Structures are given as C-alpha cells and as structure tokens.
Amino acid sequence: MTETFYEVMRRQGITRRSFIKFCSLTAASLGLGPSYVGRIANAMETKPRTPVIWLHGLECTCCSESFIRSAHPLAKDVVLSMLSLDYDDTLMAAAGHQAEAIIAEIKAKYKGNYILAVEGNPPLNEDGMFCIHGGRPFVEVLKETAADAKAVIAWGACASWGCVQAAKPNPTRATPIDKVISGKPIVKVPGCPPIAEVMTAVVTYMLTFDRIPELDRQGRPKMFYGQRIHDKCYRRPHFDAGQFVEAWDDEAARKGYCLYKMGCKGPTTYNACSTTRWNDGVSFPIQSGHGCIGCSEDGFWDKGSFYDRLTGINQFGIEANADKVGATAAGVVGAAVAAHAAVSALKRGRLEQSDGDNK
C-alpha cells in the first residue's frame, strides 16, 4: 500500500501545525471556503498518493523550473513527495533502461489510476523523429502512457497550444497534446511557464477531490484562467484614465502608467499573474515595467510583435496592421469614388447640354 500524503509529510518532518496551515492555504488559493480545510486535511490523511508520470516532449523545461520554485515551502518540499512523482526525466535519479522500466511498472500496477503530466508536445512530421524519448518517437510514448492514465495535465503553452516550436511555419509539426490524445480528460495549464502556485494548486485539487477542476471551453481551469490579466491589473486605473506609457524612457513609464500602447497583451490574456504574481508574490511582468506578452494564449508567437497594440497583418507588408490595411482600402475607394463622381458629372453635363440643344 502506498503511503498517504500525510504520512509522507510527517516522515519528512512536517509538523501537524504546518500541515494544517498548508491545507488552509491550499483551500484559499483554490477559492474554497474554510469548511474545505477539513476535507483537504482528511483527504491528505487517508488517500494513498496518486502516482504521477511527468513526460517531457519538445520543450525548454521552463515549466519544471517554475514548478520547483513554488513559493510555499510545503509546496516545494512536500508536493513533490506527495505527488509520488514516480517518473520525471529531469528530476529523477534513475537513468536509462532503469528509468524506462518505471513507466511500464506504473502502467501495469496503477492502470487507470495515475496522472500523466506532459511538458512539451510531440512533433508529428517525419513520423515523430524530431523528438526521441528512450529510443522511440515521443508521440508513441505519449499515446501509450496516456492510454492507461486517469487524467492528463498539459503543462505550459507547449503542451496546451504548441508554443514556439509550433509557431509558423512549424517545421516539425509540433502538435498540442489534446490533438494526439483522445478519450482522456485533459487539463490545460498554459503559460510559458505557468505560474508555480497555479501548477501546484491544480495538482492538489485533482488529488484532493479526485476529479479535475472545472474547465472553460478551451480546457483551462476556470479558477486560474477565468479572468484576464487586465481585469485585475494594478495599473488598470491608468488605463481607464487614458494615461499610457508612450515610450520606454518617458515620464509615464517612470510613473508606472498603463502599458497598453506599448503592446501589453494583458487585455487579451487569461492568466492569474496579476493576482497570484511570481516568485512568492514578489512581482509580475507589468509590475516590473514590461507589458504582458500573452504567453498563456494560443499562438502568441504568431500575433505580431510583443510591442504592437494592433496585431500585424503581414500579408499586406511587414508594417501593416488592421488600421493601415483599412485606411489604405478607404483611400483607394475614396479615390475611386472621386474619379467616378468626376466622370458622372461630365456625363451629366453633356446630357444637360444635349437636352438644352434639343429644346
């Protein structure tokens, strides 16, 4: 029998008091009422740890980097143990065949009862040869491992949308995992990387309640991706007042005005950065004076410059955007109308002349 979370925590020297604090913090971060603290504690005390297999496809490991920096010490020290993270290429001690044997073992032992966390995505071109995992194309390992999983977590923009390796022209045909895995509930936790606390909270929710959190239409947990950065941005008053940074070195930038005109993607990005923030709540991009780049949105690499308000429409030239395209079209139509009006006037003038001649 696998140990419960509580047993692992105690074994690691976590006091009962710290454990209860962790439970209340988790309840708060999940947006649950105080009555859930007891339920979380109870679940942790009684439930066997759910094994997690963490696979890495085409990615940069920024999700893992973020995850292990989860601010709350218990998250860092315990969630990893509590997860029973049985397989993770970058974190585990085992290597080679020994490591690969673990996947097979978990698949057999916990069939239909483990969580598959995927960082990165499989490239499909050349039969998946652009990403090899243990001597085999990653896409094969992914499909196999997902087949017996209870649920799948898509970590980061890579697994959720494709991210930079899927940016145009996507030479390896990197494909988000939900296009490859079918028949399994998939929780998308996009971001490049996702916020550490969001990652640990999603895992904790799934372990505690034995179900996946409520998702929106695009498969993201509503509790963290239900609002835009813009909706909770501390610079929002400057937006509403119409006070914008116009250049990186102007007075407005020093005063901390809204970065909307500098191409901040806060108004179009769903994430918890402006509420949860990063690195133990120290800051987030906008607070540090740089606009949001929209890293948790689908295809954010292909939406023009990070520093443009209006998305570039490069089919009409590299500098074009909706306004330039529209204004050009309006100019052409305006010129056509003027020319047409001139010809019409000439024609009418001649008509009136001939009418006059007839009379």
Partner 1 sequence: MLSAQDMQEAAAHGRSVKAIYVYEAPVRLWHWVNALAITILAITGYFIGSPLPSMPGEASQHFAMGYIRFAHFAAGYVLLVGFLGRIYWAFVGNQHARQLFKLPIFNPRWWREVLFELRWYLFLEPDPKKYVGHNPLAQLSMFFMVTLTMVFMICTGFALYGEGAQDGSWAHTVFTSWVIPLFGQSQDVHTWHHLGMWVMVLFVMLHVYAAVREDIMSRQSMVSTMLSGWRLFKDDKP
Residue 110 dihedral angles phi and psi, to the nearest 5°: -115, 40
> Does the footprint of partner 1 cover residue 323 (CB under 8 A)?
yes
Contact code string over 118-157 relative to partner 1, x by CB under 8 A? ----------------------------------------
Is 192 annotated as contributing to ligand binding? yes
Which residue, 73 or 331, is less far from partner 1 as judged by CB?
331
> Least CB distance from residue 199 to partner 1, whole Å?
21
Q: Tell whether 292 is in a known binding site.
A: yes
Residue 218 lies near partner 1 (rule: CB under 8 A): yes
Structure tokens at 135: 């001597």
Report d(CA 230, CA 79) in Å as an integer. 30
Window of 92-100, 138-146, 199-207, 340-348 that interacts with partner 1 by CB under 8 A: 340-348
Strands 136-137 and 114-119: unpaired
Contact present, 141 and 102 (Cβ < 8 Å):
no
Q: Is 62 annotated as a binding residue?
A: no
When the beta carbons of 129 and 351 are compared against partner 1, the nearer one is 351
Beta-bridge mates of residue 87 = 53
Q: Which of residues 255-284 bind partner 1 (CB under 8 A)?
A: 257, 260-261, 265, 267-270
Q: Which residues are annotated as a binding site?
A: 60, 63, 158, 192, 230, 233, 258, 264, 273, 292, 295
Note the residues at the interface with partner 1 (CB under 8 A): 216-218, 222, 226-228, 231, 237-244, 246, 252, 257, 260-261, 265, 267-270, 294, 297-300, 303, 309-311, 313, 321-323, 325-327, 329-330, 333-334, 337, 340-341, 343-344, 347-348
Q: Which residues are annotated as a binding site for [3Fe-4S] cluster?
A: 273, 292, 295
